[in-house]
Structure 1
Amino acid sequence: MQKENNNELKIFVPKEFNFNENLKYLSRAPNECLFHIKNQRLYKALPIEEETLLIEISADHENVMTIRFIGDTTPSCERIRDAVVRYVRDWFDLDRDLLPFYEMAKTDVLLNGAVGSFYGLRLMGIPDLFEAICWGIIGQQINLTFAYTLKRRLVESFGRRIEYDGDDFWIFPTPNDIAALAVEDLAGLRMTVKKCEYLIDVAQLIVEGKLTKMQLLNAGNVKNAEKMLIKIRGIGPWTANYVLMRCLRYLSAFPIDDVGLHNALKHLMGTENKPTKEEIGRLAANWTGWESYATFYLWRFLY
């Protein structure tokens, strides 16, 4: 990291990184409510400790990404600035060495075209555990468009916002915002009662310290972490693996039941029917240790 001035930070990025490819991923949902993209710049409200910052992220120069603080949201100290850098590096998975993945993918009939077309794409994360689990629960058994509608309703009902230059920048609700609610309080979201119960349950577990990111990171391996998550009501193998790949960064996390993955494989293989789980297992035999990235790159064919 290079400090330019109080309102700007420079982050050096790996050679195997393409900001525009990542913006294409982030642009796939027009109903996204947690960030804005304008003129190849990404804008997001970011709560760090007691401060709420509005950041602009751009990459006008090769191997450098710029974070600029908008308005009067300049961090008060170096600790907050460092936390912003950590969040952005985590969000874009910038500390990952992708060369081994690309070497593997070159020899894989399904991934070879993907990495050739989308070189520099990173597995865009959801650094906040509560947000990641909520997104996984919301997305269960519904299409992506409706999932974004439900997320927007949740955020605009129980999150908070800051306004700048005529735009609203929303911040995802915290566990404390949701833990004390009753299912009836979520009725306006028009989400199933079960999903409302699951969201409240997860919020309460996090507030009580019974579920933390560190616990899952200390699980030892992806299977242990998955077992910890699926003990929670409302979290099955698909949701668990989605959270493990997007938030915890377990490279072996593999949402093998994901409909998007099935559709991508069907498209690439030119078949009329989606592959069975057994067929996917055979197709993924070479992906060991990179299942999460393989899944993310295959999703890219769908938008």
Structure 2
Amino acid sequence: MSQLPPSPRLDSAEAVAAHLDLLVTIDPRLSAVRDFAGPVQPRITQPGFPGIAKVITGQQVSVASAAAIWSRFEQLPGALDPVTYLSLSEAEVRGAGFSGSKFRTVRAIAEAMVAGELDFDHLETLPAEDAVRYLVAHKGIGPWTAEVYLMFCAQHPDVFPAGDLALLKAVHHGLGLDARPTIRDMIGIAADWHPHRSAAALLFWRYFAVMRDREGILL
């Protein structure tokens, strides 16, 4: 059986591969999923305020749209610092492509950070479930945003965003399930992949991308 690298966090392709090696021993069904998906890369985003703002940018929009909006947003002077973000007007931020609700969510996060009520360094020290609870206590941050932040910005090894539609579609197809799992179903399925749930999520995102490119969007 493969051993994990010195850091269990998913901060390199080698770390992801080591987690996947262990994951397929837990659930052999994932071996075929991995073979189809090919190499799986980590997703690494700057932590803290820039990271959470980028995750929020990606809420309920396509990957291409999120990338375009983010490229405009990050060019706004002061956009990536909570103190200077608060000096930006709603018109400036929405001009980059943010909705009004996303502008207000990021503003509330900036205000919480400036007030010392939201500490991303502290977040890094918490177990996944506690970290999710810590984040969702702040207005505008739901479970998906919290879980994706932990995966991409903290490289946490054991998080699965069960509400992600692409993951639900990919698991439905990849595991040959009779029906697309509900979020509740998905939480139960992913529980069996502990403590490598983040690697499982990366694997199924990659699986979904390959299926999309070869056969069109999964329905």
- Normalised by the length of structure 2, the TM-score is 0.78
The question of whether the paired residues in 1 share the 8 Å contact of 2:4 and 2:15 is answered with no
Higher mean C-alpha deviation, range 131-140 or range 108-117: 108-117
Q: 2:46 — aligned with what?
A: 127
Q: 1:176 — aligned with what?
A: 83
Query: How far is the alpha carbon of 1:205 from its aligned partner?
Result: 2.7
User: Could you say if the C-alpha distance between residues 285 and 233 of structure 1 is closer, same or farther in structure 2, counting changes exceeding 3 Å?
Assistant: closer
1:112 is aligned to 2:20: no
User: Could you say if the C-alpha distance between residues 233 and 110 of structure 1 is closer, same or farther in structure 2, counting changes exceeding 3 Å?
Assistant: farther
The CA RMSD over aligned residues, in Å, is 3.0
Q: 1:249 — aligned with what?
A: 155
1:279 is aligned to 2:185: yes
Query: How far is the alpha carbon of 1:131 from its aligned partner?
Result: 2.2
Structure 2: distance between partners of 1:97 and 1:255:
17
Q: 2:55 — aligned with what?
A: 136
Give 5+ residue unaligned stretches, structure 1: 1-14, 18-89, 160-171
The question of whether the paired residues in 2 share the 8 Å contact of 1:181 and 1:200 is answered with no
Residue type of the alignment partner of 2:200: A
**Larger fraction in strand:** 1
Q: 2:75 — aligned with what?
A: 156
Query: How far is the alpha carbon of 1:282 from its aligned partner?
Result: 3.9
Query: How far is the alpha carbon of 1:102 from its aligned partner?
Result: 0.9
Q: 2:216 — aligned with what?
A: none
User: Could you say if the C-alpha distance between residues 254 and 91 of structure 1 is closer, same or farther in structure 2, counting changes exceeding 3 Å?
Assistant: closer
Cα deviation 1:75-131 (Å, max 9, x = unaligned) = xxxxxxxxxxxxxxx884378485354133145244212433556634222132222
1:300 to 179, 202, 206: 206
Query: How far is the alpha carbon of 1:187 from its aligned partner?
Result: 2.8
Structure 1: distance between partners of 2:172 and 2:202:
15
Higher mean C-alpha deviation, range 255-264 or range 272-281: 272-281
Structure 2: distance between partners of 1:118 and 1:234:
33
Q: Which of structures 1 and 2 has the bigger CA Rg?
A: 1
1:202 is aligned to 2:109: yes
Alignment of 1:212-231 (within 5 A): 212-219=119-126, 221-231=127-137
Give the fraction of aligned pairs with identical amino acids, expressed as a percent.
Answer: 24
Structure 1: distance between partners of 2:125 and 2:147:
16
Give 5+ residue unaligned stretches, structure 2: 210-219
Residue type of the alignment partner of 2:73: L
Structure 1: distance between partners of 2:4 and 2:147:
25
Structure 2: distance between partners of 1:100 and 1:201:
35
Structure 1: distance between partners of 2:96 and 2:29:
39
Query: How far is the alpha carbon of 1:272 from its aligned partner?
Result: 7.8
Cα deviation 1:219-249 (Å, max 9, x = unaligned) = 3x11111111011111011111111111123
The higher relative CO (CA closer than 8 Å, separation ≥ 6) is in 2
Structure 2: distance between partners of 1:263 and 1:239:
19
1:268 is aligned to 2:187: no
The question of whether the paired residues in 2 share the 8 Å contact of 1:16 and 1:98 is answered with no
Look up the SS of the partner of 1:287 in the other structure. coil
**Larger fraction in helix:** 2
Query: How far is the alpha carbon of 1:194 from its aligned partner?
Result: 1.0
Look up the SS of the partner of 2:34 in the other structure. helix
User: Could you say if the C-alpha distance between residues 91 and 252 of structure 1 is closer, same or farther in structure 2, counting changes exceeding 3 Å?
Assistant: closer
Query: How far is the alpha carbon of 1:199 from its aligned partner?
Result: 1.3
The question of whether the paired residues in 2 share the 8 Å contact of 1:178 and 1:203 is answered with yes
The question of whether the paired residues in 2 share the 8 Å contact of 1:91 and 1:127 is answered with no
Alignment of 1:77-92 (within 5 A): 92=11
Cα deviation 1:241-280 (Å, max 9, x = unaligned) = 1111111232222211011211211332456852112332
